[in-house]
Structure 1
């Protein structure tokens, strides 16, 4: 995966421009999963792209079909890249997504008491993130 993958899927001159567009969407998601930065936004984009691919929901499948690819094959190749270690996750990246999910729950909660609990949990995860290392934790997040 990576640059060679992007060149392969985007430089095919014999495909329709719409298909090239959807290949760009797919390529962008894969590139997001390969990010090494551990800041909040990058970590969230990385994990959301990763989950989009491995969960293989309807929108992922449509993008693959519109790109001219079999979604099962794309997912299989992606999981192989994860197992090879081409796509890695740091402790900080993983903790950012956990914080983000708790923060989103806090923002959506309307009950005052539940909201207070959500805020405490989000604050706890923010503290965990700030104390997290950027050392490689895993490339196992495939389920």
Structure 2
């Protein structure tokens, strides 16, 4: 396995831990992501085991560390991302005299 592939699987683990160590909040969708990450990290599954091994880590050790970090989560950890601003619609500018005449009506 190449170093790039190993880095990819490490990134999967890091993302799961980042998601799992956020405090639950008001967004049901975000809470679902957090709970899914926590379940994936803490409950035995072949998928988790495979990812750990592909990343070069012992699954039981990663699980124990993840559980410890999840237990340390406090209410303000990992605040929800700010909502992206919705772009404002631009007014269409008349491009010729006919459009300009109709725009004045």
User: TM-score with structure 1 length normalisation?
Assistant: 0.47
Matches within 5 A, 1:117-132: none
Return the structure number with greater helix share: 1
Unpaired stretches in structure 1, ≥5 consecutive residues: 1-14, 90-143
Question: Number of aligned pairs?
Answer: 74
Matched, 1:79 2:70: no
CA RMSD of aligned residues (A): 2.1
Unaligned runs of 5+ in 2: 76-105
The answer for the alignment partner of 2:4 in structure 1 is 17
Q: Does the 8 Å contact 2:21/2:70 carry over to 1?
A: no
- Confirm or deny that 1:46 pairs with 2:34: yes
| 1:60 is the counterpart of 2:41 | no
Distance 1:72 1:65, change over 3 A: same
User: Would you identify which runs of 4 or more consecutive aligned residues in structure 1 move more than 6 Å?
Assistant: none
C-alpha contact 1:19 1:68 (8 A) present in aligned 2? yes
Q: Counterpart in 2 of 1:69?
A: 57
Larger Rg: 2
Deviation at 1:59, TM superposition (A): 0.1
Aligned to 2:20: 33
* d(CA) in 1 for partners of 2:14, 2:44: 15
**Structure 1: how far apart are the matches of 2:63 and 2:32?**
20
Q: CA deviation at 1:36?
A: 3.1
